[in-house]
Amino acid sequence: MAKQPKPPASERAKQAMSGMMGDVQGSQAWASIFRPGSIFRKGYSDSPRNRSYVIMNSVLYHLHPVKVKRHAVKVSYTLCLGGLSFFLFILLTVTGIFLMFFYRPTAAQAWDDIYVLQTSVTFGLLVRNMHRWAAHLMVITVFLHMARVFYHGAYKPPREFNWVIGVILLTLTLLLSFTGYLLPWDQLALWAVTVGTNMMGFTPVFGDQVRFVLLGGVEIGTDTLLRWYVLHVLMLPFVIVIFMAIHFWRVRKDGGISGPL
Amino acid sequence: MAEVPEHLLKRAQEARERAEAQQGGGSSAAPESSGAESSEAPAEGSSGGPKIPDHLLDRSKSAREQAAAGGAAPAAAGAVATASMPAGPAQPEPTGPGGGTQRLLTVVKSGSIQDVKATPTDKVHVWPHLLVVEFVAALIFTAFTLVFSIFVNAPLLELANFNETPNPSKAPWYFLGLQELLTMFHPMVAGVTIPGIGLFLLILAPYIDRNPSKKPEDRKFAISLMTIHLMFWATLVLIGSFFRGPGFNFVFPWEVGLFFDL
C-alpha cells in the first residue's frame, strides 16, 4: 500500500486556518457584526468599488465621506492639525480614564494618590506623563489649527459659523487644561490656579460671585478640587464632544475643507 | 402636474399661430392645384418633386388611378384629399432622416429648468488616501508623546501649602500672557477686558472681514493684523515664561535660571 506523502506542516496549518476562517466568516454572528458589503464579509481586493465600501460600510462613514477633493489630503495644506487635535483628545480620554482609577479628588488624598500612582502603579508614571504632555500638545495643536485656518482665509463664507464653533472649542480646550492643572494638588497646581482665578475675580460687577462659583467657596479648598474634577472629567468633555460633533458635521456640510488659495 | 413655464407657453402659442397661417395658405393653394390637377398631374408632381417623399407621391398616384377607374364624384373628393395630403406635410419642410417628418417644439437651454449644481471636481478616495495620512500622523504623535513621557516626567511639587507662596507664582503657560499684562494694567483691564475683547473679536472675525478673497495678496491687512496679534501674545507668553523671576521681576534666564514649570 503506497503511502500518501503528507503535505508539510505549514501547508496543513494554512488549510486548517482557512477552513476555520471560512466557518467563522460564514456564521450568523459574523454576519450580524459586519454589514452587507463590509470588507470583513466579502474580503478586500483593491478596486474603486471596494475603496468606497471601506468607508460606506463602517462607522467611519460618520466622520468621513467616501471621497474628498484631491487637495484636501495634502499634508502641506492642513498639516493635519485639526485631526491631530481630535486624536490628542482621544489619547487624553484614554489616559485620563486610566488615571481616574487611582485618584480621589479631596485635599487629603489627591496628592498622595498621584504620588502612589507614580511610584507603585505599573505604568502609572508613564501614563500620567503622557496625559500631561498630550494636554499641552493639544493646546498647541488647537491654537496652530486656528492660525492655519485664519491664514488660509478658510473662515470665509460659507464657513463663518464653523469658525465660531472653533473659537468655542479653543476656549473649551484651555478650560479643560486649566481645570486639570489643579488636580495634582501640589504647590504648582495650587498657586497657578490661585493666580488664574484671582484674575477672573476682577470681572466687573459680579466678580466675587464668579469667583465663588468657580471655587465653590471664598478660598481654594477641597470643594474647589471636587468642583474642578467634575468639570475636568465629565462636564467639559461632554460639552466639547457636542461642539466637536457640530464642528465636524459642518466641515462636511460646508463642502469639505476649504479650497486652495 | 408640473407647471409649464410662461415663456414656453408663449413660444408654443406663437408656433401654433404660425403653423395655422401656413396651413391656411396651404389649403387655399391646394384647391387651385386640385382644380388643375386632373389635367396637370405630372407637372405638379415634378414641381413638388424635391419636397414630397416618393412613397407619398406613389400613394397619390395610385389613388388618382383608382379615382379614374371609379366615378367622377368620388374622384373629385379623393383628388382633393390626396392633393392636400402631400401639400399639408410639405409645409414644415420634412427633412428628417429616412423621410420622416420631425418638428422642433422648443429648445431647452441647460440651466433654464434644471440648475446644475455639481461641477466636476478632482476627487480621491478617503480610503486609502486620507486614512493613511491620518493614521501615520496619529502614529507619529503617539510615538512622540510616548518617548517624551519616558524621558521627561510631569512635575509633581510638594503638597499644596496655603502658608507658603512660591516666588514667583505663575499661571499655566497659556495664561502667562495675561499675567504679563497684569504687570502693566489694572487687573480688571488685564484679566477681563483685554482678553474678553480679544475673544469677542476673534469670534466675530468672519463677520468683520468682508473681503471675499482668500488670496494672501488680497488680504494683506487681515494677515498683518493677525500676525501682529499672534506675535504680541507669543512675546508676552515667552517673557512671562522665561524672563520673569522672583517677585515677577524681569530677569535673564541665563543669569538667574529658569522659573518655569509646565
Any domain includes A196: yes
For position B256, what pLDDT does the model report? 85
* Residues of chain A falling short of pLDDT 50: none
Long-range contacts from B176-185, C-beta under 8 angstroms, 24+ separation: B176/B236, B176/B237, B176/B240, B176/B241, B177/B233, B177/B236, B177/B237, B177/B240, B178/A199, B179/A195, B179/A199, B179/B240, B179/B248, B180/B236, B180/B237, B180/B239, B180/B240, B180/B244, B181/B236, B182/A199, B183/B248
Are B191 and A200 in contact by the 8 Å Cβ rule? The answer is: yes
Alpha carbon distance A244, A239 (integer Å): 9
CB atoms within 10 A of CB B187: 17
Q: How many residues does chain B have?
A: 262
Chain B contact set for A259 (CB, 8 A): 214
> A213 in a domain, yes or no?
yes
Residue B188 pLDDT greater than 50, yes or no: yes
Q: Which pLDDT belongs to residue B47?
A: 45
Q: What is the reported pLDDT for B224?
A: 95
Q: Give domain status of residue A172, yes or no.
A: yes
Closest listed residue to residue A181, CA positions, set A231, A126, A237: A231
pLDDT tier at B77, thresholds 50, 70, 90: very low
Residues 6+ apart with CB under 8 A from B62: none
pLDDT of amino acid B10: 87
Q: For chain B, what percent of residues have pLDDT higher than 90?
A: 32
**CB of A120 less than 8 A from some CB of B:** no
- What lies within 8 Å, CB to CB, of B222 at 6+ separation is A153, B209, B211
CATH number at residue A131: 1.20.810.10
Average pLDDT of the residues in B59-65: 80
Element holding A188 (H helix, E strand)? helix A187-200
**Among A6, A192, A108, A35, which Cα is nearest to B168's?**
A192
pLDDT at B87 > cutoff 60: no
A167 and chain B: CB distance < 8 Å anywhere?
yes
Cell matching residue B129? 488616501
Task: Indicate whether A164 belongs to any domain.
Answer: yes
Query: Helix, strand or coil for residue A9?
Result: helix
Residue B129 and residue A171: Cβ atoms within 8 Å? no
pLDDT at B147: 97
d(CA B70, CA B68) in angstroms, rounded, equals 5
Is A123 among the domain residues?
yes
Residues 125-144, chain B: which have Cβ within 8 Å of A? 125-131, 133-134, 137-138, 141-142
Contact B154, A181 (CB under 8 A): no
Interface check for B152 against chain A (CB to CB < 8 A): the answer is yes
B261 touches chain A (CB under 8 A): yes
DSSP single-letter state for residue B228: H
Task: Please give the share of chain A, as a percent, with pLDDT higher than 90.
Answer: 58
CB contact under 8 Å between A114 and B159, yes or no, is no
Q: Determine whether the interchain pair A151/B205 forms a contact, defined as Cβ–Cβ distance below 8 Å.
A: no
Residue from A59, A138, A199 to probe the interface with B (highest B Cβ count within 10 Å):
A199
Q: What is the dihedral of CA B241, B234, A86, A50, to 10 degrees?
A: -140
Are residues A224 and A215 in contact, defined by beta-carbon separation less than 8 angstroms? yes
Range of the domain at A211: 70-253
Chain A partners within 8 Å of B206 (Cβ):
155-157, 159-160, 163-164
Q: What is the pTM of this model?
A: 0.74
How high is the pLDDT of residue A17? Answer: 84
Q: Is residue A30 part of a domain?
A: no
Kindly determine whether residue A133 and residue B171, on different chains, have CB atoms separated by under 8 Å.
no
Confidence of residue B91 (pLDDT cuts 50, 70, 90): low
Give the number of domains in chain A.
Answer: 1
ipTM of model over 0.85: yes
Cβ-proximal residues to B10 (8 Å cutoff; 6+ apart), any chain: none
Residue B96: predicted pLDDT: 58
User: What pLDDT score was predicted for residue B84?
Assistant: 44
Residue A69 contacts B where some CB pair is shorter than 8 Å? yes
Q: In the predicted model, what is the mean pLDDT of chain B?
A: 78
> Is residue A242 in a domain?
yes
DSSP category for residue B124:
E
**Statement: residue B138 has pLDDT above 90:** yes
Least confident range from A45-54, A137-146, B62-71, B228-237: namely B62-71
| pLDDT in the model for residue B22 | 85
Q: Which residue has the higher pLDDT, B104 or B47?
A: B104
Decide which of B71 and B19 is more confident: B19
Please report whether residue A111 resides in a domain.
yes
| pLDDT for residue B106 | 82
Mean confidence (pLDDT) of chain A = 91
pLDDT for position B53:
74
Q: Of residues B96 and B150, which shows the higher confidence score?
A: B150
Who has greater pLDDT, B102 or B27?
B102
CB-CB contact of A65 with A256 (8 Å): yes
All residues at 6 or more sequence positions from B243 whose CB lies less than 8 Å from its CB, including other chains: B250, B251, B252, B253
What pLDDT band is residue B73 in, cutting at 50, 70 and 90? very low
